[in-house]
């Protein structure tokens, strides 16, 4: 059945007649309506990306560098300008895969518009594909931007095409000529044909953990947020076995507690610190117990103080 679906022009080295070219156009136009309805712009507050809905309950695939973290609230914008709320689920920070879901499981009683996935990796080198996305951010007058091209390279975790991508396209969908989702836009190289997309098999490899909200890998496409440093609003670094305040937000929690740049952290709640990991482990307890944290710090050569951080 899959073979029957495969358009004949994918198996031509290049289109031979203008009828072949017209067939490509017809396929794009036929698949475009549904593809377009499911493609969304993602407003991150301090930036923008794209995504695509893949289930009637509003599951969204996007790029890890768009989502940026787990459990974040985001605004999704449809092509007609309608805004709905979503939450980020898990991500794979090594391959640039991420999931999100719309907070409402249906669209006022109706299913969300969605597209089918290419689950069998049926995409081949030279296949014709089309790309959608909100490059440069959402623009209601312009709407979504279409590009048509060919698969120019297939590597284990990346597909390359000559559909020119640009910032804001990230997380948007790449479709085959029947309108199935084959990959998600990830990154570009400066040459016009260097457009990289993450194929569906890469998403399927970690499907369940991502759905469950897991943060997979150590980057480079997303960095784990550090709840401790976020809540203290200070940047801590480990230098020669010492834990030092490298920077702190003016008026932030750490600053108000009396910390200064250059302070060395010695003890927390009477327990001696052995490093950043050790501090993070301890921090997990405070988050749960909500107690007052007392930190002994060394300032300069010989000034020892105890600072209190209110929860």
Partner 1 sequence: MARIYMVLCFLLVEILAGQGEVVLEIGKRLAGDELREVFEEQKEVLNRHSVAIYGGEKGRNALLFGTVVREDGYILTKASSYLEIENVSLRIGGEKYREPVLVALSEDWDLALLKVEAVGLEPVKLDGERSLELGTWVISNGGTSRRERRVRAGVISAKSREIKSRDRPFLGVMIDQEGEEEGLLLKGVMKESGAENAGLRKGDVLTQVEEFKIRDFEDIKEALSGRKVGAVIRVGVLRGGDSFEVEVELKSRSELTKKKEQVDRNDVMSGRYSERRDDFPRVIQHSTLMSAKNIGGPLLTIDGSCVGLNIAHANRSENYAIPAKELKMMIEILIEESEKRGGDPIDFEQRGEAGDSRQGVLNQ
Binding site for partner 1 (CB under 8 A): 13-18, 20-22, 25, 28-29, 32, 36, 125-126, 130, 135-136, 141-156, 162-169, 188, 190, 192-193
Minimum distance between the CB of residue 223 and partner 1, rounded to whole angstroms?
16
**DSSP state for residue 5 in the 8-state scheme:** H
Residue 74 CB burial class (10 angstroms; 0-12, 13-18, ≥19): buried
Q: What share of the chain is helix, strand, coil (3-state, %, to 5)?
A: 20, 35, 40
Nearer to partner 1 by C-beta: 21 or 287?
Answer: 21
Alpha-carbon span 82 to 140, nearest angstrom: 10
Minimum distance between the CB of residue 89 and partner 1, rounded to whole angstroms?
24
Peptide bond into 94 cis (omega under 30): no
Nearer to partner 1 by C-beta: 153 or 261?
Answer: 153
Minimum distance between the CB of residue 164 and partner 1, rounded to whole angstroms?
4
Residues 6+ apart with CB under 8 A from 195: 131, 149, 160, 161, 162, 163, 164, 165, 185, 188, 189
Show the tokens assigned to 114. Answer: 């969605």
Minimum distance between the CB of residue 175 and partner 1, rounded to whole angstroms?
12
Alpha-carbon span 189 to 43, nearest angstrom: 24
Minimum distance between the CB of residue 162 and partner 1, rounded to whole angstroms?
5
Minimum distance between the CB of residue 218 and partner 1, rounded to whole angstroms?
9
Radius of gyration of the chain (CA): 24
Nearer to partner 1 by C-beta: 209 or 213?
Answer: 209
Alpha-carbon span 93 to 79, nearest angstrom: 28
Alpha-carbon span 142 to 120, nearest angstrom: 34
Nearer to partner 1 by C-beta: 150 or 294?
Answer: 150
- Cα 114 vs. chain centroid, distance in angstroms? 19
Minimum distance between the CB of residue 15 and partner 1, rounded to whole angstroms?
5
- Cα 69 vs. chain centroid, distance in angstroms? 7
Nearer to partner 1 by C-beta: 32 or 276?
Answer: 32
Nearer to partner 1 by C-beta: 103 or 189?
Answer: 189
Nearer to partner 1 by C-beta: 185 or 296?
Answer: 185
Nearer to partner 1 by C-beta: 25 or 105?
Answer: 25
Phi first, then psi, for residue 232 (nearest 5°) are -90, -20
User: At 64, is the secondary structure helix, strand, or coil?
Assistant: helix
Show the tokens assigned to 267. Answer: 């003890």
């Amino acid at each position: 059945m899959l073979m029957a679906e495969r358009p004949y022009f994918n198996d031509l080295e290049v289109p031979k007649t203008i009828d072949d070219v017209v067939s490509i156009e017809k396929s794009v136009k036929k698949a475009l309506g549904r593809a377009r309805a499911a493609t969304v712009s993602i407003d991150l507050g301090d930036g923008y990306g794209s995504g695509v809905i893949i289930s009637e309950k509003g599951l969204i695939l996007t790029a890890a560098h768009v989502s940026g973290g787990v459990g974040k609230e985001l605004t999704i914008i449809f092509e007609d300008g309608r805004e709905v709320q979503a939450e980020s689920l898990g991500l794979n920070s090594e391959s640039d895969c991420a999931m999100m879901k719309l907070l409402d499981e249906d669209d006022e009683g109706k299913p969300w518009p969605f597209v089918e996935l290419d689950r069998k990796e049926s995409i081949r080198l030279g296949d014709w594909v089309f790309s959608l996305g909100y490059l440069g951010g959402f623009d209601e007058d312009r709407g979504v931007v279409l590009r048509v091209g060919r698969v120019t390279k297939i590597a284990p975790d990346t597909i390359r095409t000559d559909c020119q991508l640009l910032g804001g396209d990230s997380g948007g969908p790449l479709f085959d000529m029947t309108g199935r989702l084959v990959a998600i836009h990830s990154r570009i190289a400066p040459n016009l044909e260097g457009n990289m997309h993450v194929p569906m098999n890469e998403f399927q490899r970690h499907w369940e953990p991502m759905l469950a909200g897991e943060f997979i890998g150590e980057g480079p496409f997303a960095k784990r947020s550090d709840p401790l440093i976020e809540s203290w609003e200070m940047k801590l670094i480990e230098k020669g076995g010492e834990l030092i305040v490298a920077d702190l937000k003016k008026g932030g929690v750490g600053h108000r507690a009396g910390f200064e740049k250059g302070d060395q952290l010695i003890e927390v709640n009477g327990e001696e610190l052995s490093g950043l990991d050790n501090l993070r482990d301890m921090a997990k307890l405070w988050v749960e117990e909500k107690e007052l944290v007392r930190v002994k710090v060394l300032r300069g050569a010989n000034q020892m103080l105890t600072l209190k951080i209110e929860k």
